[in-house]
């Protein structure tokens, strides 16, 4: 996977202010506001910063959390980091290619998925490409 390295001013030039705030400054969109929260089409979710494929629609599920939820990423597409912000420890997920903030991973919540993980992802961090093989 190729790396995407841009300066802060280069990122500001290609991202909307909201995308920059979330992808580069690690913020979060309000729950229930993202366009992919209840999105059901078949295809691939890519990084809004660099277009790297991150998640297949077959791994998306309705968790009721207010953000798009996936139980697994495309192999090698997402990195995990300890996040100690807000007085708690969580697992942050970022795009492997550009380092853009996607959201957080939560384990052991009991959802009926193949692995007991929930990748809670900001819609603004994603773009979607429909699967046209139908």
Q: Which phi and psi (to 5°) does residue 118 adopt?
A: -130, 115
Can you tell me which residue has the tokens 């400054």? 25
Say whether 120 is catalytic. Answer: yes
Residue 23 C-alpha from the chain's centroid: 9
Cα–Cα distance, 5 to 110 (Å, whole number): 37
Of 47, 50, 95, 120, which residue is the catalytic one? Answer: 120
Question: What span, in angstroms and rounded, lies between the C-alpha atoms of 126 and 123?
Answer: 5
Tell which residue, 16, 65, 61, has the closest CA to residue 39. 61
Active site residues per annotation: 120
């Amino acid at each position: 996977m190729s790396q995407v390295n841009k300066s802060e001013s280069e990122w500001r030039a290609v991202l909307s202010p909201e995308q920059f705030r979330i992808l580069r400054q690690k913020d979060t969109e309000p729950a229930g506001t993202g366009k992919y929260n209840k999105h059901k089409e078949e295809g691939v979710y890519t990084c809004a910063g660099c277009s790297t494929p991150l998640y297949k629609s077959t791994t998306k599920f309705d968790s009721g959390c207010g953000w798009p939820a996936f139980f697994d990423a495309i192999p090698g597409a997402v990195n995990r980091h300890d996040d100690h912000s807000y007085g708690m420890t969580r697992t942050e997920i970022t795009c492997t290619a550009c380092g853009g903030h996607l959201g957080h991973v939560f384990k052991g919540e009991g959802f009926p998925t193949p692995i007991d993980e929930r990748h809670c992802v900001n819609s603004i961090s994603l773009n979607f490409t429909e699967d046209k093989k139908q």
